Structure 1
């Protein structure tokens, strides 16, 4: 492939579509109403690349919104549906789904992780083909008045909008038979809500997040998330706070559908899910209900096959739940350099999710006497000190230890000390001054010193340095490192660890 149009060139071009920090701040200051412009803009972009929004109905869409568990639920759904793909043994292969797309965000190591088909990120060549295909269509068609403003970079939509266009274009070109689409932020005005007639919709657990865009009450959050409900389209959710659930029911009625609340499926008590953490059972339960509805609407299974909680789950559902994978969520890795060091990795960006991460770590650690417990944490754009306090409180209770960590490392999301950000992980929507001055990390260090004066606090400029420091601190001892907070931090840690492992393997070969 022409290097000017390969995967690396596509990623570089994509990064030019990121909103810089000043643009992001301007949008935040405009308040929730600003985002109302997203859908008219997005429909215009769709038409510029040769589609009508209704064209995407052929993808048999599943649309997922929520605050916590969107990625996990979407991954469970994709994994279950993948079990129904035709095989050589299929008797009626023509009646089975031919492929399953999954569009999620953010990515961890590679941008192409966001666009998956049949459980795998699309290959670099396919990513480049889809990227430049959309790029050329936009270049050939002049912009309209709808596209002027902060979401327009040189006549093209900004980063997430572009990737959404690209995912839908890719799935249309590949004739994907079902596509699971995860919302970015909210639902009502989210870029993905151009979808007109999905087959099924679902809202995962709700909490307070993205208040500049969605408001600062649980009712406001619920109103936005319920925006994905469509007339006559089955809608599912999980148990929610009372006020949130009332809003969801009201909006479902207004939007011409009935909302079904899904409790934990009893069969999950005896299954080992592919995603760790007790809280994943409610995400898996929602996935079961959505898949049962979806497959029955397509005519593949009887409507009550999996919705009947008194009967056993179909074996395809069981296998899908057991083999589901989502990196960076309740993930445990043994260090490749120090056999005594274990990494516990879980992105937690809200107070509720950081508490869940703490509970999982508390249950997953060895609790070995003398073990060195280390925290690596960052959250560049939210109330980081409040998250750190909630994590400490949760772990102090879970471990029955007022000093859950001997060391707390606070670093930026910059990947490498000398190379800076890996291209796939470039982030332009945070303040460069804050990153260079370690402002957030200094605030975290000060806050944590007040929480636990005995813990040794470390402030570092890059993820690579944080990983190296954790190894130094654990040298000769059993080391247990929790990496949590921003998913950008989690992705950077996975990048550093996997690049090391790949480098070592190449050396041996």
Structure 2
């Protein structure tokens, strides 16, 4: 396949669904100036770890200055050239921080890309290898509640102390190596990638599982030159402005992580994208294998128990088994436990990509699959009469999987004896996503209410630095919510037999009716009338969750009286929500939306 050229900015550490989106950094100097005084050798060996007296919050505040503003992003898109130059720039940043790309070889990396499920596949893989007693590193994105989640050791986010230590170690080294030719700082995602490599090297992990940010070929993680094994999870259409608008173009980008002589595995893919992956593997002299379905690993025995719910997780688990076993084989770790026995008859001829052998998982593998946790993906939080179903699906294929999971987990449960069950959709989408396509897929769930709000936990986000996004304003986010609200209404009308209200046009005044505090009002329809799945907009997650829960979730206060005159859709809905025997809430469309909800429902995650 002919090489597909990305816009140059696409190589710059972009990431899924929000924070850190963008190109070359525009960061400002930190409050301590030029400071650690560490030599590159000392930084690599860990013999000197002098850090300025900055707090964790100081580190987060300074990290947030590395987010790229929208106007600068547009400039980069216009002016930058070859995307390969962006990987060279990443190597330059890495060297300025005190590391060389050869140093990364010591991390024994498992490098994983894909459109959907790559984070879950990484989580399964990390947990399996941790079950063997190995010290694991895990780099992923985006974070849900705290940025520390992106850099994990032995499955746990690094501590605030470690985050601060390594942040300032890297930041000050980059500051002190600035010169006229290298005056910039790496952008948010690039910086965290470099920082993760420092953490894993100095904390001496046995291996690092590294999730690609976006794409593969030009993703900043692709400075990794010698991973132990690579993986490609399910492909789909996402980030089309960056990766291309066809599955073939996207597959070409994903196959960019393949390396000569390094085995790679992928799950079942559509025929043409699979052929592109095969061609990319051949170009790069990379042995590529197709994972058998998880059924093949069960070999007629009892089903493997997975820590992550949903049938779509079975392919992610199958990929993880292959990645873990191959890592163990290539690193000669037979002493850690008996390697899985290959089951006979697994190789099949006549495939464009050869089928990897199935095998009988070891006890450690079985335990790892069972113990895997990955917040915000097919997660259920029961809170008395209110049950929250959280899944950060944000592509058409992942939303389809989310709907299948939700219908099985919630809609098929026994209904209350009096039938008083209320179903609520809480939705937001970011970036260049086709919101209409996502919402259309959610219609079969038959929600009684659809609630749209930005990813901000509060109208004022200043106190929530881990989730600040300087590239999105509240006004822009609310406009997007209004568009989603109107799209939902149109979809219900097109479905037929519906009689929902139609919101007033944007130009009509009074749609946003503020109460005593800024933004305490709903976006509401213009006049009372019979409602069918009415849609409401709130300016922040805290207000949306309080309205949905109506004081019935002990973690959430009841909604305060605002003094405004909300539409009957809100008033009648509040009565139904207060009186229903069961309230089932699906939160989806954005990982950052799910992260904000988790922050409010489980404050301990913020500690």
Does the aligned pair in 1 maintain the 2:170–2:195 contact within 8 Å? Answer: yes
Which deviations, in whole Å up to 9, do the C-alpha atoms of 1:288-307 show, x marking residues without a partner? Answer: 00111000011123997265
Say how many residue pairs are matched.
470
For residues 470 and 441 of structure 2, the distance between their equivalents in structure 1, rounded to whole angstroms, comes to 27
Inter-CA distance 28–412: structure 2 relative to 1 (3 Å threshold)? farther
**Structure 2 counterpart of 1:324:** 372
**Structure 2 counterpart of 1:411:** 453
**Structure 1 counterpart of 2:132:** 84
For residues 539 and 327 of structure 2, the distance between their equivalents in structure 1, rounded to whole angstroms, comes to 47
**Structure 2 counterpart of 1:11:** 60
Instruction: Determine which of 378, 386, 392 is the counterpart of 2:436.
Output: 386
For residues 4 and 416 of structure 1, the distance between their equivalents in structure 2, rounded to whole angstroms, comes to 30
Does the aligned pair in 2 maintain the 1:288–1:307 contact within 8 Å? Answer: no
Instruction: Determine which of 350, 353, 367 is the counterpart of 2:395.
Output: 350
What does 1:108-187 align with in structure 2 at a 5 Å threshold? 108-143=144-179, 145=181, 155-187=184-216
**Cα deviation, residue 334, structure 1:** 1.7
**Cα deviation, residue 430, structure 1:** 2.5
Inter-CA distance 367–380: structure 2 relative to 1 (3 Å threshold)? farther
**Structure 1 counterpart of 2:545:** 467
For residues 69 and 359 of structure 2, the distance between their equivalents in structure 1, rounded to whole angstroms, comes to 52
SS, match of residue 88 in structure 2: helix
Is residue 2:112 matched to residue 1:64? Answer: yes
SS, match of residue 391 in structure 2: strand
**Structure 2 counterpart of 1:296:** 329
For residues 101 and 450 of structure 1, the distance between their equivalents in structure 2, rounded to whole angstroms, comes to 46
**Structure 1 counterpart of 2:32:** none
SS, match of residue 202 in structure 1: strand
What does 1:262-301 align with in structure 2 at a 5 Å threshold? 262-266=291-295, 267=297, 270-301=303-334
Instruction: Determine which of 376, 383, 394 is the counterpart of 2:426.
Output: 376
**Structure 2 counterpart of 1:23:** 72
Inter-CA distance 199–420: structure 2 relative to 1 (3 Å threshold)? same
Does the aligned pair in 1 maintain the 2:113–2:232 contact within 8 Å? Answer: yes
Inter-CA distance 303–60: structure 2 relative to 1 (3 Å threshold)? farther
Is residue 2:579 matched to residue 1:476? Answer: yes
For residues 223 and 311 of structure 1, the distance between their equivalents in structure 2, rounded to whole angstroms, comes to 30
For residues 28 and 210 of structure 1, the distance between their equivalents in structure 2, rounded to whole angstroms, comes to 15
* The 10-residue stretch of structure 1 (364-373 or 264-273) with the greater mean CA deviation from structure 2: 264-273
SS, match of residue 5 in structure 1: coil
**Cα deviation, residue 35, structure 1:** 3.9
Which deviations, in whole Å up to 9, do the C-alpha atoms of 1:373-412 show, x marking residues without a partner? Answer: 000000032335324433324x34xxxxxxx100000000
**Structure 2 counterpart of 1:88:** none
**Structure 1 counterpart of 2:404:** 359
What does 1:31-46 align with in structure 2 at a 5 Å threshold? 35-46=83-94
Is residue 2:408 matched to residue 1:305? Answer: no
Looking at secondary structure, tell me which structure has more helix per residue. Answer: 1
* The 10-residue stretch of structure 1 (36-45 or 102-111) with the greater mean CA deviation from structure 2: 36-45
**Structure 2 counterpart of 1:90:** none
SS, match of residue 273 in structure 2: helix
SS, match of residue 602 in structure 2: helix
Structure label with greater radius of gyration: 2
**Structure 2 counterpart of 1:491:** 595
**Cα deviation, residue 144, structure 1:** 6.6
For residues 219 and 421 of structure 1, the distance between their equivalents in structure 2, rounded to whole angstroms, comes to 43
Instruction: Determine which of 452, 455, 470 is the counterpart of 2:533.
Output: 455
Inter-CA distance 419–192: structure 2 relative to 1 (3 Å threshold)? closer
Inter-CA distance 143–343: structure 2 relative to 1 (3 Å threshold)? farther
* The 10-residue stretch of structure 1 (362-371 or 384-393) with the greater mean CA deviation from structure 2: 384-393
Which deviations, in whole Å up to 9, do the C-alpha atoms of 1:258-297 show, x marking residues without a partner? Answer: 1101021224571220011110000000000011100001
**Cα deviation, residue 26, structure 1:** 4.6
Is residue 2:323 matched to residue 1:257? Answer: no
Instruction: Determine which of 258, 263, 268 is the counterpart of 1:234.
Output: 263
CA RMSD of aligned residues (A): 2.3
**Structure 1 counterpart of 2:483:** 443
SS, match of residue 333 in structure 2: coil
For residues 114 and 137 of structure 2, the distance between their equivalents in structure 1, rounded to whole angstroms, comes to 19
TM-score, with length taken from structure 2: 0.74
**Cα deviation, residue 324, structure 1:** 0.4
**Structure 2 counterpart of 1:75:** 123
For residues 280 and 210 of structure 2, the distance between their equivalents in structure 1, rounded to whole angstroms, comes to 20
Does the aligned pair in 1 maintain the 2:341–2:361 contact within 8 Å? Answer: yes
TM-score, with length taken from structure 1: 0.88
**Structure 1 counterpart of 2:557:** none
**Structure 2 counterpart of 1:399:** none
Does the aligned pair in 2 maintain the 1:375–1:408 contact within 8 Å? Answer: yes
**Structure 2 counterpart of 1:245:** 274
Does the aligned pair in 1 maintain the 2:599–2:605 contact within 8 Å? Answer: no
**Structure 2 counterpart of 1:400:** none
Does the aligned pair in 2 maintain the 1:293–1:303 contact within 8 Å? Answer: no
SS, match of residue 355 in structure 1: helix
Which deviations, in whole Å up to 9, do the C-alpha atoms of 1:26-49 show, x marking residues without a partner? Answer: 556679x76433211100001101
For residues 280 and 364 of structure 2, the distance between their equivalents in structure 1, rounded to whole angstroms, comes to 33
Does the aligned pair in 2 maintain the 1:24–1:429 contact within 8 Å? Answer: no
